């Protein structure tokens, strides 16, 4: 691999040669100049500049200014036999990255050069990383700077254009709805219907007719024929929210739609075809439901083509400042650093939805023009927004007593029901690999 190029500007020929030879033998590509004027002509193509301060004509300090004027990012190390502190300070002020007082040993030279290049490479890497991630701090109006959200944005971009079924998993309020809509918006179906079905809201006996429609006379009260959601959504996208709540009898029929894109209206034996893209969402761990036998395995695999797991907000706290800024703009308010600090230290059981509500309420009720720490209105007394049904928050058996001590309540095997303000975050996770849990006090 070719090593970095270093430009040596030194009027004294012997020094120039010794330094040049040393750096070449250390593996660098060396360019040399006897004056700053000549050096400037070579400066654009090198990774580092090593220059004498005292030069005939233009001196080292002027050279630094010229480089600055050209917006050069190339690091400059200055050397000077007149190595007084003032010279060094002056050079550093003008942008030199380091100072080598003459005489110096060649070993010292190597160390200083390597260090300057290392810093430069790190800076470049950071800049490249920032540029690469720059457009991904948000995806439309979905805000997220954390690596997990950036992965999600990348996946959305990749799958939006396809017809692949997407399964969104995450606690309530993490943004599943938003993501489902964004996928539809970025798909070729964007001008076609986006039909959301909330599987929890529909009673079991009505679900089949809601999903697949019915013919006149199919049941008492069916005075007219009516298309179901899968029919209305034809050529568009169906969003099945809370898919984990779909009863077994309907699961079979969904499986058929997913596999064959076929169904019948209730009270009809005419098979209908539909061209829909399916996005499903769940706030329960479907794998646990599989094990309990409440969710069909074949349906699960049909849905889980592209799994997207959206982590709870407390696991991506770096997103909070960006979300707060976004919501502050939305609700026409200003949030102080102190207020942000308070928002950052909370565990957000209701995730982004709760954060959005708190920011809005705090802006509305703030004493002054700006939300200060004391204006932050977090409702910890009635913390029902914690996703009670999420299996991610199930505690393993035997853990019940230890969590009671800090205010958690849980029926054996059931969800966590309440959190004490003192005990800011208890996370329990029951996944295949085993069970881990921890708690953190924020006092
Ligand atoms: N990443 C995000 N950026 C901006 N707003 C978000 C984000 N995630 C969630 N929200 C907001 O939080 C609320 C809840 O989001 P939603 O998509 O309904 O969550 P879920 O479907 O997972 O319960 C919505 O008002 C949405 O605007
Ligand atoms: Mg939702």
Three-state SS string over 293-304 comes to: CCCCHHHHHHHC
For the stretch 289-320, pLDDT in tens is 999 999 999 999 999 989 999 999 999 999 99
For the stretch 209-237, pLDDT in tens is 999 999 999 998 899 999 999 999 999 99
Assess whether pLDDT exceeds 90 at residue 374: yes
Q: The dihedral of CA 77, 81, 86, 90: what is its sign?
A: negative
For 247, phi and psi rounded to 5 degrees? Answer: -65, 155
The CA distance from 267 to 409, in Å, is 47
With vertex at residue 437, the alpha carbon angle to CA 431 and CA 441, rounded to the nearest 5 degrees, is 145
The pLDDT score that the predictor gives to residue 282 is 97
Assess whether pLDDT exceeds 70 at residue 442: no
Cβ of 144 below 6 Å from ligand 1: yes
Lowest mean pLDDT among 51-55, 266-270, 435-439: 435-439
Among residues 305, 301, 368, 285, which one has the least CA distance to residue 333? 368
Which percentage of the chain shows pLDDT scores above 70?
82
The CA distance from 130 to 293, in Å, is 46
Assess whether pLDDT exceeds 70 at residue 157: yes
Residue 130's pLDDT band (boundaries 50, 70, 90)? Answer: low
Cβ of 173 below 6 Å from ligand 1: yes
**Polymer length in residues for the chain:** 443
Ligand 1 atom with the shortest distance to the CA of 144: 1
- Residue minimizing CA distance to atom 13 of ligand 1: 353
- Residue minimizing CA distance to atom 23 of ligand 1: 173
Which uninterrupted H or E stretch holds 287?
helix 286-292
Provide CB contacts within 8 A for 419, sequence distance 6+. Answer: 349, 380, 383, 386, 407, 408, 426
- Output the CA 423–ligand 1 centroid distance in Å: 25
DSSP per residue over 156-196, as a string? HHHHHTS---EEEE--TTSSHHHHHHHHHHTSTTTTS-EEE
- Residue minimizing CA distance to atom 17 of ligand 1: 175
- Output the CA 356–ligand 1 centroid distance in Å: 8
Provide CB contacts within 8 A for 306, sequence distance 6+. Answer: 155, 159, 164, 165, 166, 167
- Output the CA 145–ligand 1 centroid distance in Å: 15
Mean pLDDT of 132-152: 80
Lowest mean pLDDT among 13-27, 64-78, 179-193: 64-78
The pLDDT score that the predictor gives to residue 69 is 85
Cβ of 177 below 6 Å from ligand 1: yes
Q: Is 118 helix (H, G, I), strand (E, B) or coil?
A: helix
Mean pLDDT of 185-194: 94
Cβ of 175 below 6 Å from ligand 1: yes
Ligand 1 atom with the shortest distance to the CA of 172: 23
**429 alpha carbon, distance to own chain's centre:** 21
Assess whether pLDDT exceeds 90 at residue 257: yes
The CA distance from 124 to 172, in Å, is 39
Assess whether pLDDT exceeds 50 at residue 96: yes
**226 alpha carbon, distance to own chain's centre:** 42
Burial 169-191 (b: 16+ CB within 10 A, else e): bbbbbbbbebbbbbbbebbebee
Ion ligand 2 residues within 5 Å by Cβ: 176-177
- Output the CA 439–ligand 2 centroid distance in Å: 27
The pLDDT score that the predictor gives to residue 129 is 60
Burial 24-41 (b: 16+ CB within 10 A, else e): eeeebebbbbbbbebbbe
């Amino acid at each position: 691999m070719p090593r970095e190029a270093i430009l040596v500007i030194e009027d004294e020929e012997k020094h120039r040669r010794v330094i040049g030879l040393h750096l070449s033998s250390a593996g660098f590509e060396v360019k040399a100049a006897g004056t700053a004027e000549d050096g400037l002509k070579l400066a654009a193509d090198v990774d580092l500049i090593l220059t004498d301060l005292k030069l005939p004509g233009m001196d080292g300090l002027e050279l630094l200014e010229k480089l600055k004027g050209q917006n050069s990012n190339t690091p400059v190390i200055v050397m000077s036999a007149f190595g007084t502190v003032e010279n060094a300070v002056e050079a550093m002020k003008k942008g030199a990255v380091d100072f080598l007082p003459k005489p110096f040993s060649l070993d010292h030279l190597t160390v200083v050069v390597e260090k300057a290049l290392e810093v430069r490479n790190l800076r470049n890497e950071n800049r490249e990383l920032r540029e690469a991630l720059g457009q991904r701090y948000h995806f439309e109006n979905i805000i997220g700077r954390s690596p997990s959200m950036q992965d999600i944005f990348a996946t959305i971009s990749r799958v939006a254009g396809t017809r692949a079924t997407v399964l969104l998993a995450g606690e309530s309020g993490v943004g599943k709805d938003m993501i489902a809509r964004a996928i539809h918006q970025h798909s070729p179906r964007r001008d076609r219907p986006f039909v959301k079905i909330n599987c929890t809201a529909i009673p079991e006996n009505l679900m089949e007719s809601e999903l697949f429609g019915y013919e006149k006379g199919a049941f008492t009260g069916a005075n007219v024929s009516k298309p179901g959601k899968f029919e209305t959504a034809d050529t568009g996208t169906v969003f099945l929210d809370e898919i984990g709540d779909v009863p077994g009898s309907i699961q079979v029929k969904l499986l058929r739609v997913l596999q064959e894109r076929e169904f019948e209206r209730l009270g009809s034996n005419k098979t209908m075809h539909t061209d829909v893209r399916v996005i499903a969402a769940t706030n329960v761990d479907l794998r646990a439901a599989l094990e309990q036998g409440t969710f069909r395995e074949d349906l699960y695999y049909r849905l889980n083509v592209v799994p997207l797991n959206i982590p709870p907000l407390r696991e991506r706290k770096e997103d909070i400042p960006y979300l707060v800024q976004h919501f502050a703009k939305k609700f026409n308010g200003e949030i102080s650093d102190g207020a942000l600090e308070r928002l950052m230290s909370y565990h957000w059981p209701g995730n982004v939805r709760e954060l959005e509500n708190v920011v809005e309420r705090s802006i509305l009720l703030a004493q002054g023009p700006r939300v200060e720490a004391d204006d932050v209105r977090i409702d910890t007394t009635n913390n029902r927004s914690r996703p009670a049904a999420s299996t991610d928050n199930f505690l393993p058996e035997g853990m019940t007593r230890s969590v009671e001590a800090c205010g958690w309540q849980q029926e054996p095997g059931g969800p966590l029901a309440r959190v004490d303000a003192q005990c800011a975050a208890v996370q329990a996770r029951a996944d295949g690999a085993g069970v881990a849990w921890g708690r953190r006090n924020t006092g």
